[in-house]
């Protein structure tokens, strides 16, 4: 019998109960059928952007000089088999709060993670066909660089105001994607 995977969902929206949070929740409910799931709202954590000083490469335990909540996020990611990125799209990128967390993974502590797979949940207000392309490119490049496998993605266009996603077929798609992880 296969053991349960540990899944960490990084939700990059600052809106509580917004469209991104609802999409992530739907995924989490499906994934929790067969796995351990933890959702981290990055807006609930004070995480400074990476300064690019590279001190973490020489400090004991690869500790960043910045004293913030990123240490808690590192601990959660250390035990994750799968990480799912959930974000609203701001100017063709993930939210600033989520980007700060991602950039702090420049730290070599990431080499202690057992992470094998990534997933992507994106929500955008526009209906543009290429709305998600820049984020998808970064997602693919990250997987290639670290030798990770994609579990899939759910991309939702045309949802702007809180609650616009309610009733959207992508909520079911996210649930099914989560439930497919066995």
How do residues 84-108 score in pLDDT, each as one tens digit? 999 999 999 999 999 999 999 999 9
**Which pLDDT belongs to residue 27?**
98
**Which pLDDT belongs to residue 16?**
87
Q: Are 10 and 76 in contact (CB under 8 A)?
A: no
Segment 43-49 shows an average pLDDT of 95
Give SS3 for 102: helix
Predicted model pTM: 0.95
| Residue from 34, 47, 38, 33 nearest 9 by CA | 38
* Averaged pLDDT score across all residues of the chain: 95
Phi-psi region of 163 (alpha: psi -120 to 50; beta: other; left: phi over 0): left
- How many secondary structure helices (H) and strands (E) does the chain include? 5, 5
- Please list, residue by residue across 119-138, b when 16 or more beta carbons sit within 10 angstroms of its beta carbon and e when fewer do: bbbbbbbeeeeebbeebeeb
What tens digit of pLDDT does each residue of 130-181 get?
A: 999 999 999 999 999 999 999 999 999 999 999 999 999 999 999 999 999 9
**Which pLDDT belongs to residue 3?**
74
**Which pLDDT belongs to residue 37?**
98
**Local confidence band at 2 (pLDDT 50, 70, 90 cut-offs):** low
Q: Are 158 and 125 in contact (CB under 8 A)?
A: yes
Residues whose CB is less than 8 angstroms from the CB of residue 52 and which lie 6 or more positions away in sequence, other chains included: 106
> Any idea what DSSP says for residue 90?
B
């Amino acid at each position: 019998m296969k053991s349960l995977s540990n899944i960490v969902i990084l939700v990059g929206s600052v809106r509580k109960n917004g469209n991104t949070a609802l999409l992530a929740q739907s995924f989490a409910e499906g994934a929790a059928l067969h796995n351990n799931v933890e959702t981290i709202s990055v807006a609930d954590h004070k995480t400074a952007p990476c300064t690019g000083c590279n001190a973490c490469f020489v400090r004991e335990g690869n500790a960043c000089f910045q004293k913030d909540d990123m240490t808690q996020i590192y601990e959660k990611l250390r035990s994750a088999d799968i990480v799912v990125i959930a974000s609203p799209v701001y100017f063709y990128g993930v939210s600033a709060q989520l980007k700060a967390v991602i950039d702090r993974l420049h730290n070599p502590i990431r080499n202690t993670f057992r992470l094998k797979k990534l997933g992507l949940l994106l929500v955008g207000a526009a209906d543009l066909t290429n709305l998600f392309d820049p984020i998808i490119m970064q997602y693919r490049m990250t997987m290639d660089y670290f030798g990770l496998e994609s579990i899939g993605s759910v991309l939702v266009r045309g949802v702007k105001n809180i609650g616009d996603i309610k009733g959207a077929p992508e909520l079911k798609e996210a649930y099914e994607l989560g439930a497919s992880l066995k």
